[in-house]
């Protein structure tokens, strides 16, 4: 059985575990602490980053892009009917998503509204482009979930949590992305691909009093008695 080594709120890891869930591939997962990386992990991971996947043979694989390719190649493909050209396009849209993971993380940690807007600029540039590329089907131009959907799932999942907790909607200007987000969330893969305490840990970090979004959440709590401060909204 594959073993995944992860930090609990890492979007790069969720992309890998989401693909495993979509393919219904059994795996086990071990969570390590970012501040206390064990020696065995540092020996296996050349750059000391997650995700790390250990195969049945004991081989350690790293880098999320490489892991996605490995899982797609070794197990029945999600996109088996795609032409070489279509696969290249899918990889390009998937790569765009992965480049936005840290951009989104930085935006979510913004200490004030101005910083949030500035840090969100690159997100919105990409959102405008994919909004135009989306059709009217539930997934990325398809009735079935594929690799592009898996790549964008961490972004859309996190945007949903932020919206529910703070009222701030990264996707407010993008109706097709909103529909895409809801289609992906309805599959259940978002929740299945993260730790049971993911939402609370995510909120602890991104909706703390140090962040603008956390302060917004607290203000909502004060005005309408919601329980965002205790993260029950998550």
Query: pLDDT (tens digit, 9 = 90+) per residue, 161-175?
Result: 999 999 999 999 999
Query: Which residues are CB-neighbours of 204 under 8 A, at least 6 positions away?
Result: 231
Residue 77 CA to residue 9 CA, distance in Å, equals 26
pLDDT of residue 227: 44
Total Cβ atoms within 10 A of residue 49: 17
Its pTM stands at 0.94
* Tally: H helices and E strands in the chain: 11, 4
Query: Which residues are CB-neighbours of 175 under 8 A, at least 6 positions away?
Result: 131
Report the Cα 177 to chain-centroid distance in Å: 15
Long-range contacts of 115-124 (CB under 8 A, 24+ apart): 115/212, 116/168, 116/212, 116/213, 120/170, 123/170, 124/173
Helix (H) or strand (E) holding 105: helix 84-108
Residue 229 pLDDT level (bands cut at 50, 70, 90): very low
Residue 71 CA to residue 75 CA, distance in Å, equals 6
- Model confidence at 122: pLDDT above 60: yes
Residue 227 CA to residue 199 CA, distance in Å, equals 14
Rg for the chain, CA atoms, rounded: 18
Mean pLDDT of 197-202: 96
Residue 221 CA to residue 62 CA, distance in Å, equals 41
Query: pLDDT (tens digit, 9 = 90+) per residue, 18-65?
Result: 999 999 999 999 999 988 999 999 999 999 999 999 999 999 999 999
Residue 18 CA to residue 59 CA, distance in Å, equals 21
Tokens of 66: 């490489």
Total Cβ atoms within 10 A of residue 174: 19
DSSP state letter for 48: S
């Amino acid at each position: 059985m594959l073993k995944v080594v992860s930090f609990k709120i890492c979007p790069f890891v969720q992309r890998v575990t989401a693909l495993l869930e979509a393919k219904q591939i059994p795996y086990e997962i071990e969570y390590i602490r970012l501040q206390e990386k064990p020696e065995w992990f540092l020996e296996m991971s050349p750059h000391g980053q997650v995700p790390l996947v250990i195969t049945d043979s004991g081989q350690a694989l790293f880098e999320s892009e490489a892991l996605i390719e490995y899982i797609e190649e070794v197990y029945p493909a999600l996109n088996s009917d795609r032409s070489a050209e279509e696969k290249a396009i899918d990889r390009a849209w998937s790569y765009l998503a992965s480049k936005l993971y840290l951009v989104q993380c930085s935006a979510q940690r913004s200490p004030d509204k101005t910083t949030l807007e500035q840090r969100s600029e690159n997100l919105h540039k990409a959102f405008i482009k994919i909004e135009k590329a989306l059709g009217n089907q539930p997934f990325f131009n398809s009735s079935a979930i594929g690799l592009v959907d898996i790549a964008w799932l961490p972004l859309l999942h996190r945007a949903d949590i932020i919206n529910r907790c703070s009222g701030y909607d990264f996707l407010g200007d993008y109706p097709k992305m909103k529909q895409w987000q809801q289609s992906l969330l309805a599959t259940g893969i978002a929740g299945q691909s993260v730790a049971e305490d993911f939402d609370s840990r995510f909120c602890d970090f991104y909706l703390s009093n140090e962040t603008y979004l956390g302060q917004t959440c607290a203000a909502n709590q004060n005005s309408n008695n919601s329980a965002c401060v205790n993260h029950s909204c998550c």
